[in-house]
Structure 1
């Protein structure tokens, strides 16, 4: 520092202090400028440089999958120095493939045959590294991992992103019978008749069954060392002859896809035997009769044997495996109880029939007993229907004739004594004699008969009773309710004496039956 001799020492010190403060201020401003520049560069780089990738990708074993990696540069752009693909294994990064503008493309030996860059520009002498998508071929279960795509840039530094790769395995569906032959048991014990396996799947399959059988199934998941899962399902049912040849279908659902496989049950069981041929109408001299042994068995019958409970078979009987033929006309000698024994590898069973020989046919030859019974039932139904129809017809005719023969009102009851009019009516100024009589339905038939013959149930003849009635009418006694007496029978004038409606009174005082009236 130069100090003027003529300037006082205090002034020199003051000037030196000012200069030093200025220098410190300039250094501070320069530092602040550099800091601001770095912050702006970092902010600009963070918003302008992006590595774009899918978050998750998946594929099946043996298939191909693309892992996308694209670099979005800033403006002005930064320089891409290198792109590195890495696999994350137990927290450690393992290189897969590298693209360098100066050194070219490099793929590690482990992935060399299965990994390549999709964009051809990456492999050129002057490469373009904005799109470094890679393609995985022949995927393995061991390829499942997290993959990192890292961009090295200048001056912004490193930029990276990652993708999770999932490798799935389609299962192998296999269905089989538990054993080639399943034997029906005598006890109601369920056993495994079929097994369905979904092997080496990832993720695990879901197995269900489609069948009409009344059974149940049990399912077990078995993990494999390579990460796949084998699912086993057993179908259990009681084996019997009824489920023989029944269809059993296994349905395996994997990733919303369904796979089916079916088997047909083969149940072995002992014979079930019946004898056919005897229709209950074997009569003397009938021709061409035979007995047939019908057996249901699995496996088929290996041996049929015929025998007679009464002793030996008749001489006219001829054995032809499951058929017993009787040659010639029917005689009493073939009557008896016949037994058929049927045998297969599972067991034996028998059936019997009693043959009865009659002198004459029970029903026409060629018509079975069942057909005869059916004819009887049909004939009986026809007869019943005819009788019922006839009864209905007669009832309708009777009601029609009764209605057409009677001209009055059945519901109105009229007096046979008094002025000839009903109680409900008024007496006219010049009343006339009654022109008709009505009788109640409950009148006695014998009284009707007597009345029709001229003898009165009132104790005298009808004319005499009519004379009494007329006398009471003309003398006005009907107002005093005088009585007419006949043979100690007193009938008050004006009372409601009813006679059966089956009798018709006449003008002369007599009555006749409706059945004898002609209208």
Structure 2
């Protein structure tokens, strides 16, 4: 066919389509079985054409055309008896007219689905027609069920889902966490023009799959929302057994030791049997259902215990060997260790506090006078060095013979004349209590303050040596007195102050 032929054919199709559109019909009509449906038809603008007759033709999906209703203005309406719709179809208007040849079908069936052609016979244009499609809907009956299976390694059907007698065919889908596969849905056309859809789920079932969720969802045009079927998988298997309760600490004399036989299976286990590998059950053992209790552990418990559990599919068993210890292992010493650590920490804290106070006290003593009790920073002037800070006894030996007051050698501020007066037979200069100190002595003592302060640290190191000195060199020592300094001092006319009872030994 050349190009001109193709163009001619396309032009004819366009003309025919434009002419066909002159007959007005509803392109699609939807109905359900048992209802009544109306098919409308009209030729609104015939123009110069003369309408002579109108006919309705039924064209099934898989069958030939059949006239179901004819109207002629002169001969009236006619309904062929060989029509599959005979007795159920008629024109709406009575009597019918060419202006409104619409028809109504009562008690529609699924087999009534197909194309309905409204055809006008005109003169001189010929026949013109419009086509309406009748779509029959049928809400399906949906169902799903679980298939009880035995555990195994071969894939089998574990669940089915079916949508029956629907129009059009339903859609089936699966939702599950199982590691299986859904089969391709199969469609079966029923005699009443409905469709049945079926799908299955296959899995190699394991005991762990028992009770897991699986759902089937059916979607259809007649349902506003999909219908969901939630199910739980059923997998049967023999009992799985485990003995618990042994803590590896069964020692001689232990009481109330026990073992528990835990078992699960489908169907539920019905029998539990305890026995030993040797065949003899120790006398101290009591068995009650799945619990084995040992009243007192002895050497007869040093054996292997076996628990057997059975259901309708078979038996499962577990065993455990008991080792009886000579004595109870020592209890955990975590508490003892914690107590020791706490005690050590407390001791360290106490020792640290004690050392701190001892060091502080020692430093305060090093910065004050020995035996005076004065804190660091107490006045350290010539009066204290010359006259002491405490009372002396009347015999000049000091309180209780204490020799811890500051010690001065013969060159610490007293002139040679003063040191030689009242020489004690032991080589120590003794200053009589009645001797009056001159202003020269006090001034000389005060001028020595700065030098004494610088040498104070060196003198402290030498104190111990002089405290135990047994030689005969001249030593000047101020004894503490029992009365306060204010009571011991006496003011002179020249403004100086001297001690009443200063004793030098």
- Please report the TM-score for the alignment, with normalisation by the length of structure 1: 0.51
Matched, 1:139 2:111: no
Distance in 2 (alpha carbons) for counterparts of 1:234 and 1:155:
61
Aligned match of 1:192: 157
Distance 1:208 1:158, change over 3 A: closer
Indicate which of 83, 86, 94 corresponds to 1:123.
94
Partner of 2:369: none
Cα 1:376–1:231 change in 2 (3 A) is farther
Deviates more, 1:267-276 or 1:149-158: 149-158
Q: Distance in 1 between matches of 2:59 and 2:250?
A: 94
Q: Which residue of 2 aligns with 1:301?
A: 269
Between the aligned partners of 2:64 and 2:296, the Cα distance in structure 1 is: 102
Aligned-pair CA distance for 1:108: 5.1
Rg larger for: 2
> Which residue number corresponds to residue 383 of structure 2?
none
- 1:324 aligned residue (286, 292, 317): 292
Matched residue, 1:241: 207
Match of 2:57 in 1: 86
Q: What SS class does the counterpart of residue 213 from structure 1 fall into?
A: coil
Change (3 A) 1:248 1:116: farther
CA positional deviation for 1:295: 0.7
Contact 1:174-1:197 at 8 Å conserved across structures:
yes
The answer (yes or no) to whether the contact 1:281–1:363 under 8 Å persists in 2 is no
Distance 1:303 1:161, change over 3 A: same
Whether contact under 8 Å (1:221, 1:229) holds in the other structure is no
Larger deviation, residues 348-357 vs 248-257: 248-257
Distance in 2 separating the partners of 1:363 and 1:103: 119
Q: Is the 8 A contact 1:83 1:151 kept in 2?
A: yes
Which residue of structure 2 lines up, in the alignment, with residue 213 of structure 1? 178
Partner residue of 1:264? Answer: 232
The alignment partner of 1:242 has SS state of helix
Report the CA distance between 1:73 and its aligned residue.
Answer: 4.8
> Does structure 1 residue 347 correspond to structure 2 residue 321?
no
Instruction: List per-residue Cα deviations over 1:32-89 (Å, max 9, x = no partner).
Output: xxxxxxxxxxxxxx99x9431123434454555432212315579x987654323246
Structure 1 partner of 2:67: 95
Quickly say closer, same or farther: Cα 1:92–1:347, change in 2 above 3 A.
closer
Q: Check conservation: 2:57, 2:68, Cα contact below 8 A.
A: yes
Distance 2:292 2:163 in 1: 54
**Alignment: residue pair count:** 327
Residue 165 of structure 1: CA displacement? 2.8
**Aligned with 2:23: secondary structure?**
strand
> 1:69 aligned to 41, 59, 70, which one?
41
In the other structure, the counterpart of 2:26 is 54
1:93-151 Cα offsets, whole Å, 9 max, x none, are 5332345667766555543554344x5xx126xx6653333333443332233222244
Structure 1: gaps (5+ residues): 1-45, 365-371, 391-519
RMSD value, Cα: 4.6
How far residue 312 of structure 1 moved from its aligned partner, in angstroms, is 0.9
- Unaligned ranges ≥5, structure 2: 1-17, 349-505
* Pairs within 5 Å for 1:127-206: 130-151=99-120, 159-178=128-147, 180=148, 182-185=149-152, 187=153, 189-206=154-171
CA contact (8 A) 2:55 2:69 kept: yes
**Residue matched to 2:303:** 336
**Structure 1 88/357 Cα, relative in aligned 2: closer, same or farther at 3 Å?**
closer
Question: Scaled by the length of structure 2, what TM-score is found?
Answer: 0.52
Q: How far apart, in 1, do the equivalents of 2:248 and 2:101 lie?
A: 95
Output the CA distance in 1 between the equivalents of 2:23 and 2:278: 102
Q: Secondary structure at the match of 1:72?
A: coil
State which drifts further: 355-364 or 273-282. Answer: 355-364
Whole-Å Cα distance in 2 between the matches of residues 63 and 323 of structure 1?
69
Please report how far the alpha carbon of residue 281 of structure 1 lies from its aligned counterpart in structure 2 after TM superposition: 3.9
Contact 1:116 1:136 (C-alpha < 8 Å) held by counterparts: yes
Q: Aligned-pair distance for 1:195?
A: 2.9
